[in-house]
Structure 1
Amino acid sequence: MTAPTTTARPGARARRAGLLALAALLATADLGLKAWAEQALPGSPIEGGPLGLELAFNSGVAFSFAADAPAWTVVAATGLITLTVAAALWRTAPGASRLWGGALAAVLGGAAANLIDRAPDGRVTDYLHTGWWPTFNLADVFIVCGGLLIVALSWRTDRQAAT
């Protein structure tokens, strides 16, 4: 018995490559800003009105959750989540809408950037500071915005299917 074959839609390879390139571009942008922040911001935050720049480090995940957990467990968990998002992007890219693919690419780019940043020392570099919200980074923005878009698109799809 032979393994079942899947027929890729025309352009599936280019679609996947484009979304992975978008995720890599977003991750690179955040990692570049993190490197800059580590050089430019120690001891000298930059006030910018509602959003300033201030160097901080987070050994946990969102809102410092699990900050006391061993670094290897946080790295392993975020690595598994990142791989899951990459697999979802790979699997759905050929037939997904541009918004859905872009949302997954944003989540993947943010997750990959934070994983790459966390791997060497168990902590993530944060640099965006509001004064009323925990300090965060651009990767966090990509993850949250991509996740919200996925929820919105899922809700819209569910509502359309019900009618």
Structure 2
Amino acid sequence: MAEAESVIGTPDTSDDSERRTPEQTRSGRGRRIAVLFSVAAFAYALDLISKMLVVAKLEGRAPVEVVGDLLELHATRNPGAAFGFAPAFTVIFTLIAAAVIVVIIRLARKLYSFPWAVALGLLLGGALGNLTDRIFRAPGLFKGEVVDFIAPKGFAIFNLADSAIVCGGILIVLLSFLGRDPDGTIHTN
């Protein structure tokens, strides 16, 4: 069990001989926080760069086929949520994204799990990517439209921030299903 715990990055509390000192605990949490913010920074940078390229090279042009007609790059602006849902509520989506970011940053203080650090980093990076669009893109402050460009055939158009959010969300659901908490505890019910 201790070996498995070390692989997934959660503390094993079943053996008193392996209890961590306060210095080790702070160090482990510090590494997990560094992972969270590194993953977030990478996801955010990738999203930001991709959107800059899409706006500069694809916006106003015909879609570019990547894999025949199965996958295209098609620049579009989305004022709403996923699938263009509720375009009149852009300000609300901006506030929700900001709230998610605050919650993740607050949760980071109690973070001792490597997989949770990755999942929360993906969510944070994706939320920051779309929030940046909402704040700085036209038509105006807190009403900006998100740049979407990945267009699989028969599916909604999305961006890399959306992908990071979905991957982070799936990982969180999986970790929760497995009984793993952000603080490193494991539930075996």
TM-score (norm 2): 0.73
CA contact (8 A) 2:40 2:121 kept: yes
Aligned to 2:125: 109
Aligned to 2:157: 135
How many angstroms does 1:160 deviate by?
A: 5.3
How many angstroms does 1:79 deviate by?
A: 1.1
CA contact (8 A) 2:125 2:161 kept: yes
CA contact (8 A) 1:58 1:67 kept: yes
Aligned to 1:161: 188
Give aligned pairs, total: 152
Distance 1:59 1:115 in 2: 12
**SS of 2:147's equivalent?**
strand
Long gaps (5+) in structure 2: 1-21, 139-143, 181-185
**SS of 2:153's equivalent?**
coil
Which of 55, 62, 70 is matched with 1:44 structurally? 62
Distance 1:160 1:76 in 2: 33
Distance 2:105 2:166 in 1: 16
Alignment root-mean-square deviation, CA: 1.9
Distance 2:179 2:131 in 1: 31
- Tell me whether 1:16 sits opposite 2:33 in the alignment: yes
Deviation per residue, 1:112-139 (Å, 9 max, x gap): 1111121123211001001311100011
Aligned to 1:3: none
Distance 1:139 1:116 in 2: 11
Alignment of 1:1-163 (within 5 A): 9-11=25-27, 12-42=29-59, 43-49=61-67, 50-69=70-89, 71-88=90-107, 90-93=108-111, 95-96=112-113, 98-120=114-136, 121=138, 122-157=144-179, 161-162=188-189
CA contact (8 A) 1:31 1:117 kept: no
CA contact (8 A) 1:46 1:53 kept: yes
How many angstroms does 1:18 deviate by?
A: 3.0
CA contact (8 A) 1:30 1:113 kept: yes
Larger Rg: 2
Deviation per residue, 1:91-122 (Å, 9 max, x gap): 332x21x2221111111111111111211232
Distance 1:160 1:92 in 2: 17
Distance 1:82 1:161 in 2: 30
CA contact (8 A) 2:94 2:134 kept: yes
Long gaps (5+) in structure 1: 1-6
Deviating above 4 A after TM superposition, structure 1's stretches of 4 or more consecutive aligned residues are none
